[in-house]
Structure formats: structure tokens, C-alpha cells
Amino acid sequence: MATQAMFRIWRGDAAGGQFKDFVTPVEEGMVVLDAVHRIQAQQAPDLAVRWNCKAGKCGSCSAEINGMPKLMCMTRLSNLNLDMPVILEPMHTFPVIRDLVTDVSWNFRVKKTIKKFRPRTPDAPDGTWRMQQADVERVQEFRKCIECFLCQDVCHVLREHHKQEEFIGPRFLVHVAALEMHPLDTEDRVTDLRRKHNIGYCNITTCCRQVCPESITITENAIIPLKERVVDRFFDPLKQLFHII
């Protein structure tokens, strides 16, 4: 492995910015976030980066590494070509605060617009429920989500078409799927999915699924089943026929 590497890091804020090159020593086993920390400690103390757990569990250090949306803490330098500068940019879909840090507060506002969990009455006299592991597992896949928002970053509807006011994005479609498929939930979110969350904007390019660091099968397991529910309710030709009659 190389003994040093160049990192081309975007520095700036909402008003604009530019790439700046930093050369720093690297060792076996290092991840991108280690290099950023080293640069911060030794060369650019005010370099802005958001991180927490450094183990791929909190989803804070999302960025674009050589153009790919990734967690900096889980991207090993040994998987990058260090003969070239490693290009680090903030996520493009969200407004920049500073350097590698973006304003992701939109996501937190969106979540509040989704109807919350509403369980059925308890199954047992002691107020508890009974569920089978197989039923739980289907939803556990969605609940692995660490809210890194890389799927939102890469979604065309948000990234290119800026439909943030109308479309909730893959992260929150996964969230709705987790609620809708929850064995205990009794709430109905299908109408909202169509009219308020605009699930129809998604044209299943699977980009979100490809960047998910938790390997959640976003498109196939979450979004498509939700689209099917919407279709069943609103576009079933037989039902429409009955409706007309």
C-alpha cells in the first residue's frame, strides 16, 4: 500500500467553494474518515465533517467519494486507487452548510408528515402481543436503516428534479413500508402514499438500493410492494368498473 495519498476535498459553504488538495500519510486498514481526521488534526483544524460512531451504525458521515455516495467510515483506502487524488465532496442533494457537512434537516421534517405507528389491541391479557419470527424478519430488514440519507442523495427525483416539497424519497418509503408491513400496525397510509407522498414519482431505477450501506433491498422489498398497494386501491380496473356502475 502507498505510504501517502492525496485527498482533493471540497471546501466552502452555501456561497460557493472549491477543491483543495491535502497530502497525508496512510497506513494499512485506514478508512477515508481516518484520513479526513488526520488532515483536520494536522493541516486544516476547521475542516467541517460530521461523524459519530465510526463503525457504520449511525449514518452521520455520508459523503461522495470519487463521485459515489458512501459512508466515509466504511470506505477503506485499500479499495480506492491511491495513485489518483481521492475526491471528497458533500452530498449534492442537500444544501451545503460547510465543507463536507450538509443540511439534512429536510429529512427530519418529512418524517413527521408520515402517520405514526398504531398497534392493534394487545393479544394477551397482560397487554403484550404475539408475533412470529418470520413476520418480524420482513420488517426488520427495513428497520436496519441507519438514516444516512445516501438513498435520498442519489434519488433522481430529489437530486435532479428537486421535488423535495412533493416526494418523500426512498428513505421514507422504506419507513412507510416498515410501518405498513408491521405485524401489529392498523393505520392506513395508502392514500397518503399516492396523494401526499407521491410514490408515483419513483420510476424504480434502483439507484437507492445500490448505494444502501445496510444492503436494504429498497426498491424490490419496500417500494414495489407499496406501489402495488396503491395500484390495488386506485387503479384496479374491476374496482373502477364497479365504482362507475
Partner 1 sequence: MPEFERFSYDVLVIGAGGAGLRAAIEAAAAGVKVGVVCKSLLGKAHTVMAEGGVAAALANVDDRDNWRVHFADTMRGGQYLNNWRMAELHAKEAPECVHELEAWGALFDRTEDGRILQRNFGGHRYPRLAHVGDRTGLEMIRTLQDHGIHSGMEVHMECTVLTLLLDSGRIAGACGYDREKGRFYLWQAKAVVLATGGIGRAFKVTSNSWEYTGDGHALAYHAGAELKDMEFVQFHPTGMVWPISVRGILVTEGVRGEGGVLRNKEGRRFMFDEIPDLYKEQTADNEEEGWRYTQGDKNARRPPELLTRDHVARCINREVKAGRGTPHGGVFLDIAWIKERMPKSEEHIKRKLPSMYHQFKQLADLDITKEPMEVGPTTHYMMGGVSVDGDSQMSTVPGLFAAGEVAAGLHGANRLGGNSLSDLLVFGRRAGRFAAEFAKSNSAGAIDEAQLQATANASLAPFDRGPAGENPYQIQYELQESMQDLVGIVRTESEMQRALEIVGHLSARAERAGVAGHRQYNNGWHTAMDLANLLNVSEAITRAALLRTESRGAQFREDFPNKDAEWGKYNIIVKRGAYGEMQVERRPLEPLPAELKAVIEEMK
CA angle 166, 172, 177 (to 5 degrees): 120
Binding of residue 13 to partner 1 (CB under 8 A): yes
Binding of residue 140 to partner 1 (CB under 8 A): yes
Binding of residue 186 to partner 1 (CB under 8 A): no
For the chain, where are the E strands, in sequence order?
4-13, 16-25, 62-65, 68-71, 86-89, 96-98, 101-102
- In terms of CB distance, is 140 or 240 closer to partner 1? 140
Binding of residue 185 to partner 1 (CB under 8 A): yes
The region of 15-23, 139-147, 195-203, 237-245 touching partner 1 under the rule CB under 8 A is 139-147
Binding of residue 27 to partner 1 (CB under 8 A): yes
Interface residue with partner 1 among 7, 9, 24, 59 (CB under 8 A) is 59
- Which among 203, 176, 39, 34 is positioned nearest to 116, based on CA atoms? 176
The CB-of-37 to partner 1 minimum distance in angstroms stands at 9
Cell of residue 142, nine digits: 427495513
Size of interface with partner 1, in residues (CB under 8 A):
60
- The site map against partner 1 for 90-109 (x = CB under 8 A) is -------xxx-x-xxx--x-
Binding of residue 127 to partner 1 (CB under 8 A): yes
Binding of residue 225 to partner 1 (CB under 8 A): no
Binding of residue 1 to partner 1 (CB under 8 A): no
The CB-of-15 to partner 1 minimum distance in angstroms stands at 11
Binding of residue 188 to partner 1 (CB under 8 A): no
Q: d(Cα 129, Cα 143) in Å, to the nearest integer?
A: 19
Q: d(Cα 4, Cα 65) in Å, to the nearest integer?
A: 17
Q: d(Cα 122, Cα 141) in Å, to the nearest integer?
A: 24
Q: d(Cα 154, Cα 170) in Å, to the nearest integer?
A: 10
3-state class of 201 per DSSP? Answer: helix
Please answer whether residues 71 and 146 qualify as being in contact, where contact means their C-beta atoms are separated by less than 8 angstroms. Answer: no
Q: E strand or H helix at 242, and its extent?
A: helix 237-244
The CB-of-241 to partner 1 minimum distance in angstroms stands at 38
The CB-of-69 to partner 1 minimum distance in angstroms stands at 16
Please answer whether residues 86 and 70 qualify as being in contact, where contact means their C-beta atoms are separated by less than 8 angstroms. Answer: no
Q: d(Cα 95, Cα 99) in Å, to the nearest integer?
A: 11
Interface residue with partner 1 among 25, 76, 84, 195 (CB under 8 A) is 76
In the complex, the residues that contact partner 1 under the rule CB under 8 A are: 13, 27-31, 34, 40-41, 45-60, 74, 76, 97-99, 101, 103-105, 108, 111-112, 116-117, 119, 122, 127-133, 136, 139-140, 143-147, 179, 182, 184-185
